[in-house]
Amino acid sequence: MALSPAKLNLSLFALLSLLFLSHARLNLDRSDYKALSVILRDLGGQQLFIPSDPCSTPGVFCERRLSDNNTYVLKITKLVFVSRELTGFLSPSIGRLSELRELSLANNSLVDLLPPQIVDCKKLEILNVQNNQFSGKIPSDLSSLIRLRVLDLSGNSFSGNLGFLKYFPNLEHLSLAKNLFTGKVPTSIRTFRNLQFFDFSGNSLLEGPIPVMRRVGPSGFQYPKRYVLAETTTNGRSNGPSPAAAPNSSTRSSGAEAPAPSPHHHKHKKSKGKKAAGWILGFLAGAVAGTISGFVFSVLFKLILAAVRGGGRDSGPAIFSPLIKKAEDLAFLEKEDGLASLEKIGSGGCGEVYKAELPGSNGKMIAIKKIIQPPKDAAELTEEDSKLLNKKMRQIRSEINTVGQIRHRNLLPLLAHMARPDCHLLVYEFMKNGSLQDILNDVSQGRRELDWLARHKIALGVACGLEYLHISHNPRIIHRDLKPANVLLDDDMEARIADFGLAKAMPDAQTHITTSNVAGTVGYISPEYHQTLKFTDKCDIYSFGVLLAVLVMGRLPSDDFFQHTEEMSLVKWMRNVMTSENPTRAIDAKLLENGYEEQMLLVLKIACFCTVDGPRERPNSKDVRCMLSQIRH
């Protein structure tokens, strides 16, 4: 009889302790924890071991991610073990780190193959294994890592041909120097449009001409980075070519980013009582538990009460970008009046937008979107409030799952997300030049100028961003609300596609997605989406065609001008004018007589091509980007 109170007290103690700890701490994802244990063991370094807090291990960087059940967990995003005297090998378990963005193992003595499972790290951006003793062939499907920006395999004994160099749309730094590669350098390297540095030297078995990088002037405009690849006239059998680098380019540092704050990983061990202890041990346990239970429960009650009262506050911001070094940089947003002193720069359907300087960033400006949620309990929400709240939460999740996770120079990145009792705060880079729609309005009223070269650059930038979303990224992402108001311009007038609140991911197996209602902006919505509620990437192409027309015409679809035409539609009016005897009527009068009329008419033809009624007849985003990039100034 005396054993029951003791067991009850100890059980309650354990339960309340776990409740408190689970409220205060985040854990490393279980799958990542198991994979990391195997990886550290196989790398063979004496200093590498799995501690109780894996994310505090030097070289292991973790970041918070939103899980499927709407809770945050820690995921491993970087492994940086440079010059650590490692003598083992890279485990196939590396492929289980689904959020890994950087793997840097330079200057060690690692052996064996580069495991084929490396291609399962779909978000990998930096792969640096230079100066080791790796050997064998490179996985043939390495090019499936389309996010790679840095690929450094130099200073090893890799062999085989270079067939793995198929398609790397974002690759900026490529070094294969001092290996045993054979065969010819594939011509596919010419398609690496962002490449700024490459080095094939020290591969004496390579055959045939080897590309070198040359800078070209405006006549080479068909290449977005202003660099073209030529071929050497000599054979590559000697010492190979010297490294080729774009002017003023530099190799990116492997591990310059600071790790995200990493809460401790808690291990709970269940104590097992021995049945042989008997009644005497039971009475003893009951007596001890009874004397301390009052004190323990009073302390725990105060701790749990404090935790519950603070439950309305989030444990901190979820950081998605290294631009924000630590969570404390955004501590000013946790205050109730944190936005009161900030400059309000805009407002929309979801909320208001503010501008602020990021602390400790030497003047870096950020934009903060405040998405307000009804300050009521769930039971008090009206049906309208409930629908509005669900819509806002879907838009927040869409932003986090798209630009919170992916990076491209023509997409506006989400830097951080903070949940507060009354609202959600989304933090972005501040775009100094505002939206394309604001600029076009200023141009129409004579407050500023926007010449054709700047407009063409904007069009090409948006096309590059769409190509990444539709083709390079897996799964494909459909924006669903592409328009001038959602194209922001940075300090260099480079276009950034923004506002992914309506975006949808479409797996490769699907040809379309059906919705319950039409989403988007009138004038930019494709006719088939209006009629069938089914959308594809060709719906974005239609919207982009309208945006192209706006850039050339200087008029929005909502302009009163079109209400006084027979067609009463920008797209229909454009088609009729382009087939008339005087198609230059469609060009913005401010752009005429500048010598670029033929180019602008060509862009209008592309716009007509993008806005044909049949979605199958429209070009894809890659075709559009190629057509725009071939226009030479």
Write down all domains in the chain, each with its CATH number in brackets: 22-245 (3.80.10.10), 327-429 (3.30.200.20), 436-629 (1.10.510.10)
Give the DSSP letter string of 121-187: -TT--EEE--SSEEEEEPPTTGGG-TT-SEEE--SSEEEE-STT-S--TT--EEE--SSEE-EE--G
Q: At residue 150, what are phi and psi to the nearest 5 degrees? A: -130, 125
Nearest one of 61, 73, 84 to 30, comparing CA atoms: 73
Q: What beta strand segments (E) does 254-319 contain?
A: 318-319
Q: Which residues pair with 137 in a beta bridge?
A: 159
Is the separation of the CB atoms in 546 and 607 below 8 Å? yes
Count of positions (residues) in the chain:
633
Strand (E) or helix (H) holding 104 = strand 102-104
Is the separation of the CB atoms in 456 and 547 below 8 Å? no
Neighbours of 22 (CB within 10 A): 13
Q: Tokens 């087939």 map to which residue?
A: 579
State the Cα–Cα distance between residues 50 and 247, nearest whole angstrom.
43
Q: Which residues pair with 257 in a beta bridge?
A: none
Which pLDDT does position 49 carry in this prediction? 61
| Tens digit of each residue's pLDDT (9 = 90 or more) over 304-353 | 444 433 344 445 688 888 888 888 888 888 877 778 888 888 876 667 89
Please tell me the number of Cα atoms within 13 Å of 389 on its side-chain side. 15
**Does the bond joining 261 to the residue before it have cis omega, within 30 degrees of 0?**
no
State the Cα–Cα distance between residues 357 and 368, nearest whole angstrom.
10
| Cα–Cα distance list, 494 to 86, 162, 368 (Å) | 43, 34, 21
Measure the N-to-C terminal CA separation of the chain; round to a whole number of Å.
93
Which pLDDT does position 259 carry in this prediction? 39
- Token pair, residue 144, equals 């499936």
Which pLDDT does position 483 carry in this prediction? 95
Which pLDDT does position 8 carry in this prediction? 42
State the Cα–Cα distance between residues 375 and 163, nearest whole angstrom.
58
Q: What beta strand segments (E) does 392-449 contain?
A: 414-420, 423-429
Nearest one of 146, 408, 150, 331 to 256, comparing CA atoms: 150
DSSP letter at 207 equals E
Sites in the chain below the pLDDT cut of 50: 1-24, 214-242, 244-272, 274, 276, 301-314, 376, 378-379
Is the separation of the CB atoms in 606 and 548 below 8 Å? yes
Q: At residue 533, what are phi and psi to the nearest 5 degrees? A: 65, 20
Catalytic residue numbers read 481
